[in-house]
């Protein structure tokens, strides 16, 4: 039985790209928001033609259209938290930064989507500069994976948990914001995610790797779940714990589709 507390009137906002396959991006965020008990709103930064095997094409929206989407959400919906994902280019990243400057009470989970698992670049170099200079300081949390940490630090952290802790701390201190460094790309059987603030490591979350499940969209899902629990009033550490547990449920009860197993957002709800 679903045990969401009274969440009527609670909304979260995803600012990200659309995934035509439905497993990541805006589509995964909306599924996650619903499973975690909040109303999902969206501002789409780009359309993509993709499936879990790769991205064939990307079509960014104009800055004016992104701004219009954001303004309409802010005028009407009671947004309590934001998740940002793929921002596509520097101009769109600037629009998002200026918009969020006007919403200082909204906690923002920044998923620094830089490179797809397939290797496709999802944010140009100028956009990365805007992201780190304008959006990172605004973040309640950054959620890089190891590939994104490598791009931000200039070298890839070693797969061992101790090295991941050092990398998470370095990122938190460099940008002066909390960081959840996701360890799924380390390739180890025990997956470790490290939550660190500038003051030190706050939490280590471990899980066993689930074999045979395509985890495309896992980073989007985790960041969106954290934003949902922040919207519902959880503190940051509690939101990270609950989101991590929700992702494990999505992995433990996968969706059979097209001859493969994928994250099952319908299994994420707390029971």
Return the percentage of the chain with pLDDT > 90, whole number.
Answer: 76
Split into its structural domains, the chain has a count of: 1
In CATH, what number is assigned to the domain containing residue 224? 3.40.1190.20
d(CA 122, CA 128): 10
The pLDDT confidence band at residue 125, using thresholds 50, 70 and 90, is: confident
Query: For residue 118, is it within any domain?
Result: yes
Domain encompassing residue 51: 11-267
**pLDDT tens digits, residue range 35-53?**
999 999 999 999 999 988 8
d(CA 35, CA 266): 6
**pLDDT tens digits, residue range 59-94?**
999 999 999 999 999 999 999 999 999 999 999 999
Element (H, E) at 180: strand 179-181
Query: For residue 3, is it within any domain?
Result: no
Query: For residue 6, is it within any domain?
Result: no
d(CA 106, CA 15): 13
d(CA 60, CA 43): 12
The pTM (predicted TM-score) of the whole model is: 0.94
180: left (phi over 0), alpha (psi -120 to 50) or beta: beta
Of 13, 12, 14, the C-alpha closest to 38 is: 12
Residue pair 34/66 in contact (Cβ under 8 Å)? The answer is: no
Query: For residue 4, is it within any domain?
Result: no
């Amino acid at each position: 039985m679903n045990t969401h507390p009274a969440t009527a009137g609670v909304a979260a906002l995803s600012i990200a790209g659309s995934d035509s396959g439905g497993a990541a991006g805006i589509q995964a965020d909306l599924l996650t928001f619903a499973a975690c008990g909040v109303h999902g709103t969206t501002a789409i930064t780009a359309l993509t033609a993709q499936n879990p095997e790769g991205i064939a094409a990307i079509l960014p929206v104009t800055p004016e259209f992104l701004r219009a989407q954001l303004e309409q959400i802010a005028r009407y919906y009671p947004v309590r938290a934001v998740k940002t994902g793929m921002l596509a280019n520097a101009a769109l990243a600037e629009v998002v930064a200026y918009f969020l400057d006007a919403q200082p009470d909204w906690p923002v989970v920044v998923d620094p989507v830089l490179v797809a698992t397939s290797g496709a670049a999802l944010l140009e170099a100028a956009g990365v500069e805007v992201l780190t200079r304008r959006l990172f300081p605004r973040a309640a949390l950054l959620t890089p994976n190891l590939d994104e940490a490598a791009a931000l630090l200039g070298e890839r952290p070693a797969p061992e948990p101790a090295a991941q802790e050092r990398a998470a701390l370095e990122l938190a201190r460099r940008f002066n914001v909390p960081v959840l460094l996701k360890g799924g790309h380390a390739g180890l059987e025990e997956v470790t995610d490290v939550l660190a603030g500038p003051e030190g490591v706050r939490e280590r979350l471990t899980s066993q790797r689930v074999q045979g499940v395509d985890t495309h969209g896992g980073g989007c899902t985790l960041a969106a779940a954290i934003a949902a629990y922040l919207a519902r009033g959880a503190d940051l550490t509690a939101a990270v714990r609950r989101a991590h547990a929700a992702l494990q449920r999505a992995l433990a009860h996968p969706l059979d589709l097209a001859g493969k197993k994928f994250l099952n957002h319908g299994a994420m709800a707390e029971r």
